[in-house]
Amino acid sequence: MEHFLDVGGRVARRRAGQRYRPHASARRNRSAEFACAGPFPPLVGRRLFEGAARQHRASLAMARTFDGFDLIMTPATADLPPLIGAVRGDDAAFDYAAWVDRAYGFAPFTEIFNVTGQPAASLPLFLSKDGLPIG
């Protein structure tokens, strides 16, 4: 558990940086070459590369923001979970766009941690009056 709690701390970043830095600097100087490589057309390849770079910058910003904290507690969901069978994608009347909007509203607290690759766990600590997990 010690390594899990220290994953975003200075010691862990320093240890990881010693192993990663030579490879990162060599790749950074040639990043444009890799942006368009592979099966994607140049525009898509570049957009994928830029998106990955933006995600990496967000991850570093999160690590700096929470440096010195071992644990951050937030709610995992904004509502109770749906009942089993309540969401059916095979129904002809199923509105996928509305479902996506509802899904993002259901778990608004976790998105930034998911996108930036932060370690996280959902702990259902309580039960609703109907026996559904809360947490």
- Note the pLDDT tens digit of each residue in 113-128: 888 988 888 888 889 8
The SS3 assignment for 126 reads: strand
Structure-token match 């994608």, residue found: 89
Q: 61 and 90: one domain?
A: no
How much is the average pLDDT of 14-36? 52
> What is the C-alpha separation between 111 and 124, in angstroms, rounded?
18
**Is the pLDDT assigned to residue 103 strictly greater than 60?**
yes
Higher-confidence residue of 18 and 73: namely 73
| Max CA separation in the chain (angstroms) | 58
**What confidence score (pLDDT) does residue 16 get?**
53
> What is the C-alpha separation between 42 and 35, in angstroms, rounded?
8
**Angle ∠(128,132,133) on CA atoms, nearest 5:** 90
- Note the pLDDT tens digit of each residue in 35-88: 455 566 666 777 888 888 999 999 999 989 989 998 888 888 888 888 888 777
Quote the domain boundaries for residue 18.
Answer: 1-70
Q: 3 and 64: one domain?
A: yes
Q: 82 and 53: one domain?
A: no
> What is the C-alpha separation between 78 and 29, in angstroms, rounded?
43
Q: 118 and 58: one domain?
A: no
Domain count for the chain, please give it. 2
